[in-house]
Amino acid sequence: MMRENKGMRALQYLILAIIAVLFLLPLVWMLFSSVDPHAIQAIKLPSHLTMANFSAILTDPNIMRSFGIGLLVSGFQAFFVVAISVLAAYPLSRYPLPWKKPFLLSILFLTSLPMTAVIVPVYQMFLYMKWQNSLIATTIFMISTSLPYGIWMMKNFMDSVPEGLEEAAWIDGSSVWGGVRKVVMPLMLPGIFTIAIFTFTGSWGNFFVPFILITAPEKLPASVTIFQFFGNNGLVDYGQLAAFSVLYTLPVVVLYTFAQRYMSKGFSFGGAVK
Residues 96-125 that bind another protein (CB under 8 A): 96-97, 100-101, 104-105, 107-118, 120-125
Q: By CB under 8 A, what part of segment 8-27 binds another protein?
A: 8, 12-13, 15-17, 19-20, 23-27
Residue from 10, 38, 55, 58 binding another protein (CB under 8 A): 38
Q: What's the closest the beta carbon of residue 91 comes to another protein, in angstroms?
A: 3
Residue from 64, 71, 185, 263 binding another protein (CB under 8 A): 263
Q: What's the closest the beta carbon of residue 182 comes to another protein, in angstroms?
A: 13
Residue from 2, 6, 7, 164 binding another protein (CB under 8 A): 2
Going 165 to 169 to 175 to 180, the CA torsion angle's sign is: negative
Nearer to another protein, 65 or 256 (CB): 256
Closest CA to 214 of 274, 264, 139, 156: 139
d(CA 80, CA 82): 5
Q: By CB under 8 A, what part of segment 39-98 binds another protein?
A: 39-43, 56, 60, 62, 83-85, 87-88, 90-92, 95-97
Q: By CB under 8 A, what part of segment 118-157 binds another protein?
A: 118, 120-125, 127, 129-134, 136-137, 140-141, 143-145, 147-149, 151-153, 156-157
Residue from 6, 29, 184, 203 binding another protein (CB under 8 A): 29
Q: By CB under 8 A, what part of segment 220-239 binds another protein?
A: 220, 223-238
Give the x/- contact pattern for another protein in 166-205, rule: CB under 8 A.
-x--x--xxxxx-x----------xx--x--xx--x--xx
